[in-house]
Structure 1
Amino acid sequence: MITLKNVTLRRGAKVLLERSSVTLNPGEKVGLVGRNGAGKSSLFGLFNGSLHEDGGDYSIPGHWRMAQVAQDMPETTQSATDFVIEGDSVLLAAQQEVAAAEASDDGMRMAHAYMELHDAGAHDAEARAQALVLGLGFKVSELSQPVNSFSGGWRMRLQLARALMCPSDLLLLDEPTNHLDLDALVWLEAWLKRYTGTLIVISHDREFLDAITNVTLHIDNARLVRYGGNYSTFEDMRAEQMLLQQAAVAKQADKIAHLKKFIDRFKAKASKAKQAQSRVKALERMEKIAPVLADAEFNFEFQEPANLPNPMLAMVDVAAGYPPAADAPAGAPPTVIVRNINRSVHAGQRIGILGANGQGKSTLVKTIARTLAPVSGEITEGKGLNIGYFAQQELDVLRPEDTPMEHMIRLAKDTIAAGKSGWVAGREQDLRGFLGTFNFSGDMVKQPVGTMSGGEKARLVLCMIVWQRPNLLLLDEPTNHLDLSTREALSVALNEFEGTVMLVSHDRALLRAVCDEFWLVTRGGIEPFDGDLDDYQRFLLNEAKRARDAA
């Protein structure tokens, strides 16, 4: 077992843990949670031996084998399959022993070495590695491609596969879902449920934690507190504890009342559709943990739209895709990803856009957002349509050398020039105050964006979207860099937003809480999905099985 007894842990002058004690038993699956900066990654450093306690006693069984995802971006011409196979340290050691035994010409040593090689699973190593790679969303045709041919996000998936390939008694996973689509996420959950060792995971995905963990370890005020149960159980228990603290409840009363008022209003008008009922349950959960939400260090709201065109937009015989590449021969046709789109978007709709990896979700959103022109067909926009677009690559669009204040000043000038009906704050002090509502206070407004964390950049993008006062929100994976409390703040803000929301996300808790209808992008087209997210997970697993059977 892993034991911490009166452990103190510091990073520089900051005390992250002070005289904390906890025991983790073999085979437990532990979710490690806490606010950003609380010390989660530093505690991982203690577990993996890269950091040492500053006081107290820490122990871990000496014979335990440990696996974790390497954080460096791999640079190699190895094939994806071979790169993952190398993650099996036991197999690698056995192969090296065979080579040494053969070189020694010692028959007995060679016999033992070959037996160890067999026991290490050399006969099925390639099949095991390829099952991991395919499970994480790669195509069969990509198994032999060099690692260097993949983008950064896909290379990090290979690092994850490599960690899963390694036989281990302790598996440490720090934000393993960041680069995954929902289909790969569902597969990873199923794999981790079968994992027999001790798992410790840091994640900001509530449903992922709920699915795989049975213990929650909370870092709070430099203390480690162990809760039996998954993340939702932890939230319930923490909410009950907070309700007992009457001073805190009095402070939060207005925020709790506001949240409950909205939930009551939505429940009164919710349809009997399966998706809407799923959303009611998600909101009832928010009501139950209202003290926890109200205690969050960050919250915000979208302003009431200046107008609500209805319909917002209409798509007639639209094909979405990409123009020919610059180096394509003259007359080359465009690449069509999704075709025959005939759908309208109305005021107040809450649409979740579902689809397996590569089916065209982002292409559809980019086309609606005007980033891509339709390949064919027509999109008619309602008068006064004002789109707030959060792209998957939105953080890359921020200028790293500019400050949050410079971003806001430029946005204000662009808004005035375009004649949009957003907030037009003429004074720098107004912009400073607005940035402050998104936790950009003091010197942070003059800090270069390039030096900020992914979560801080995501908050700045949200701040810029809110400032524009949109009536249609197009959000493509908005939670990738957000911690749990900021995800909750986004969920509450989206629920209170009076405009229309179209959302692509692998965060099922957000989809459940926000969306009451779903569009499924599949096999080159779009169709309504009549089930809820549990039905969709079953659909994804069936599609994956169908693809494997066809391969």
Structure 2
Amino acid sequence: MIRATGLTLRRGAKVLLENTDFVINPGERVGMVGKNGAGKSTLFSLLQGRLDADAGTVFIPAGWRIASVEQEISDNSAPAREFVMDGDTHLRALQAERASTPDSNGHRIAELESALVEADAWSAPSRAEQLLAGLGFAPGQWLSPVNSFSGGWQMRLALARALMAPSELLLLDEPTNHLDLDAMLWLERWLGSYEGTVLLISHDTEFLDAVARTILHFDHGKLMRYRGGYEDFLTQRAERMRLTHLAWDRQTRETARLQSFIDRFKAKATKAKQAQSRVKALARMEVLAPLQAESGIDIRIPTPTSMPDPLLVLDKVSTGYTDDQGNARVVLRDVQLMVRGGGRIGVLGVNGAGKSTLIKTLAEELPVLAGERRASKGLEIGYFAQHQLDMLDLESTPLQHLSRLAPQAREQELRNYLGGFGFSGDTVNNKVAPMSGGEKARLALSLIVWQKPNLLLLDEPSNHLDVDTREALATALAEFAGSVLLVSHDRHLLRTTVDSFWIVADGQVHEFDGDLEDYRDWLAARSASARAEARNDARNDAQGGSAGAQGLDRKAQRRQDAEERQRLAALRKPLDSRLKKAEADMEQASRRLKELDALIADPDFYSEARREERISLLGEHGELSKRHGQLEEQWLELQEELESLAGS
């Protein structure tokens, strides 16, 4: 196990951890949470031996191999698959020695061949390809040089390389930052089957909740341990804070405000799946109120001056880019969509499908190549782009930025407004240049919503935000009276803020009748179809290549076919058994979830008299939802294995 005793860590004059103890048991999956700058990445550096503790000791078993993601990739022309395989340094060392050992040294060659078999050398290319496929790389990209990929895709390669390395301890620092939703779901499944110990830093709360079974929280120089996933941590910590009466008055006011909003939303919510999903996500806010009060970040988006309906229409629009030679490259075709007043839409699709292209077209950042974009009179757009942070003046302060937008406003009014976004006291006069990515994102968002837009177009607004700020943003967007179009891989943000979805795929944009669970099923079905098509193509190629082959021993062929059928039947039997058990467990979990959903939908459930019961049942609902999701993932994996056997 990993054991720390009397550990003290400092960064300059700042104390990150002081005289703290903690234990991480073998095989645990631990989420590390805390504010930006709390010391999470510094602790990772300590565990990797890159720095020393200021005081105390940390024990890691001597035989443990540690794998982590490289944060920077030097210019590398190696093929992507080879780069990933390089993560298994032991295998590469064996291969290098085998290549340099002369044939005359038969004894050493035998030892090396045995070691290579033990290191799974012959399956290494296939394992690397599975990692690449899971993280979104098409087969045609597997042999492309590393330096031909963009920075985000290079980070995916670095993640695949870390997963390739045999290890007993896996350190992952924000592994989902460059992943889309399908790659994130694949990574959740992969980590679920990893046998070693996982330490995970992530601001994506749903990813943390799906992977972590223990939470270590950086809390005022100590590491506090919480049992369960991220939702359990929130509930336990909120209750602990209530018991200690920390900022009780402010917490009570915040709880009342959020409860009032939840009640209003429940009163007008439809019975659509996504609306009901949002009701449950918003109900969780009552538990979170004291945590938001402690964070000091209280984002409020101003109410729009007017709300036309519809706000914006795309009528048979084609959109894309124009290259340097003036040639149009169409990304989306024949888009027929309407943004209604008060509409709250999440935009789904894999990386590269055209989500950002759609948002830029709506924001008039890209021209319409065909069709018509019709904007209502009175439309006011607030657009947060993926690269919004690059538009800030690094030599100016938050107060100077806002003063340029509102030269007539009083300074105290501007200070009060910026305070809601976490810029209080003298921080409003600090230059932007040394700020963290999260601070810059908060500032950029504050400047956008100051203008009182009635349509917010948000392209990955939470990428640089810590957990506290993400929660504050989710609350602010949930209460926003205008329309929202949101592109995000943060599932909690999507669940809390949107009522319906659009899906971008195959050059088209369509309304999606379902919630995020339905989208996960859609992705799985789409992936299975693509794999089946690839298998058929490979089989047809193989049959075509062997059409001229003659003279096979038919008796031997029949014997081989029979043996293969027996082998497949033996492989199918345990899979069929596990599949039936998963289906039975899913049915049982679904029945209980329906019972809990009925209780949660009852307005009386949110009365103060039922607070203790509510906390207990919401906790059970969260655990059961996680369990149901895990069973679904298991069922999908078993189905894929059976399909693979059928197609082999």
TM-score by length of 2: 0.80
Q: Distance in 2 between matches of 1:425 and 1:309?
A: 28
1:14 aligns with 2:8: no
Contact 1:98 1:117 in 2 (8 A): no
Query: Which digits, 9 at most, give the CA deviation of each residue in 1:280-310, with x for residues without a partner?
Result: 0101111233222222221211001111111
Aligned to 1:419: none
How many residue pairs get aligned? The number is: 534
Partner letter of residue 297 of structure 1? G
Matched to 1:246, the amino acid is H
Shift of 1:444: 3.8
Partner of 1:214: 213
SS in 1 for 2:247: helix
The question of whether the paired residues in 2 share the 8 Å contact of 1:356 and 1:540 is answered with no
What does the per-residue CA deviation read over 1:74-117, in whole Å, with 9 as the maximum and x for residues that have no partner?
311111111111111121121133245338x4221111112212
Name the aligned partner's letter for residue 163 of structure 2.
L
Paired letter, 1:544: S
Q: Deviations over 1:321-344 (max 9, x none)?
A: 112x1136xxx3x12211121221
1:544 aligns with 2:527: yes
Is the 2:403–2:409 Cα contact (8 Å) retained in structure 1? no
Matches within 5 A, 1:20-419: 20-102=20-102, 105-323=104-322, 325-327=323-325, 332=327, 334-412=328-406
Offset of residue 433 of structure 1: 4.5
Superposed displacement of residue 438, structure 1: 2.1
**Alignment partners' CA distance in 2, 1:520 and 1:493:** 24
- Please identify, of 192-201 and 349-358, the stretch whose mean Cα deviation from structure 2 is larger: 349-358
Give the CA deviation at 1:520. 1.1
Q: Within 2, Cα distance between the matches of 1:346 and 1:247?
A: 42
Other-structure match for 1:415: none
Give the Cα–Cα distance (whole angstroms) in 2 for the partners of residues 443 and 77 of structure 1: 47
Distance in 1, matches of 2:423 and 2:212, equals 34
Q: Percent identity?
A: 54
Name whichever of 16-25 and 425-434 sits farther off. 425-434
Report deviation, 1:428: 5.2
TM-aligned CA deviation for residue 462 of structure 1: 0.7
Deviations 1:132-179 (A, max 9, x none): 122111222221211111111111111111111111100000001111
Where 2:71 maps in the other structure, the secondary structure is coil
Structure 2 Cα separation of the partners of residues 439 and 291 of structure 1: 16
* CA deviation after TM superposition for structure 1 residue 406, in Å: 4.0
Tell me the CA shift for residue 426 of structure 1.
4.2
Deviations 1:334-369 (A, max 9, x none): 122111212211111111111122211111110001
Whole-Å separation in 1 of the counterparts to 2:248 and 2:432: 36
Partner SS for 1:70: coil
Residue type of the alignment partner of 2:237: R
The answer (yes or no) to whether the contact 1:473–1:502 under 8 Å persists in 2 is: yes
Which stretch has the larger CA shift, 350-359 or 432-441? Answer: 432-441
Which aligned pairs between 1:488-503 and structure 2 lie closer than 5 A? Answer: 488-503=471-486
Equivalent pair of 1:101/1:113 in contact (CA under 8 Å): no
Residue identity in the other structure for 2:254: K
The corresponding residue for 2:451 is 468
35-44 or 443-452, larger mean C-alpha shift: 443-452
Q: What's the C-alpha RMSD, in Å, of the aligned pairs?
A: 1.7
Cα distance in 1 for residues equivalent to 2:428 and 2:234: 33
Question: C-alpha displacement at 1:443, in angstroms?
Answer: 4.9
Tell me how far apart the structure 1 counterparts of residues 408 and 11 of structure 2 sit (CA, whole Å).
41
CA-to-aligned-CA distance 1:244-296 (integer Å, 9 cap, x gap)? 12353223211111011000100111000000000001011112332222222
Q: For residue 446 of structure 1, report the CA deviation from its aligned partner.
A: 4.3
The CA distance in 2 between the partners of 1:127 and 1:247, in whole Å, is 54
SS at match of 2:529: helix
Measured in 1, the distance between the counterparts of 2:408 and 2:4 equals: 52
Per-residue CA deviation, residues 407-436 of structure 1 (Å, 9 max, x unaligned), is 334444xxxxxxxxxxx6445565444333
Question: Higher helix fraction: Structure 1 or Structure 2?
Answer: 2
* CA distance in 2: counterparts of 1:48 and 1:437, whole angstroms: 38
> Where do 5+ consecutive residues of structure 2 fail to align?
535-648
The 1:532/1:69 distance shift into structure 2, 3 A limit, reads same
Q: Secondary structure at the match of 1:265?
A: helix
Bigger-Rg structure (1/2): 2
Contact 1:521 1:527 in 2 (8 A): yes
Q: CA shift at 1:396, angstroms? A: 2.1
Unmatched 5+ residue regions in structure 1?
Answer: 413-423
- Name the CA distance, whole Å, in 2 between partners of 1:160 and 1:137: 12
Q: Out of 433, 446, 449, which is 1:450 matched to?
A: 433
Report the alpha carbon displacement of residue 17 of structure 1 after superposing the two structures with TM.
Answer: 1.2
Is the contact made by 1:316 and 1:341 (CA closer than 8 Å) also made in structure 2? yes
Q: Contact conserved, 1:30 with 1:200, CA < 8 A, in 2?
A: yes
The alignment's TM-score, normalised by the length of structure 1, stands at: 0.93
- Tell me, in whole angstroms, the C-alpha distance in 1 between the residues paired with 2:337 and 2:12: 56
- Spell out the pairing of 1:410-429 with structure 2 (5 A cutoff): 410-412=404-406, 425-427=408-410
How far apart, in 2, do the equivalents of 1:202 and 1:70 lie? 14
3-state secondary structure, aligned to 2:73: coil
- Write the distance in 1 (CA, Å) between the matches of 2:258 and 2:34: 23
CA-to-partner distance for each residue in 1:496-550, whole Å, 9 max, x for gaps? Answer: 1100011010000010011111111122212221111111112112222222333
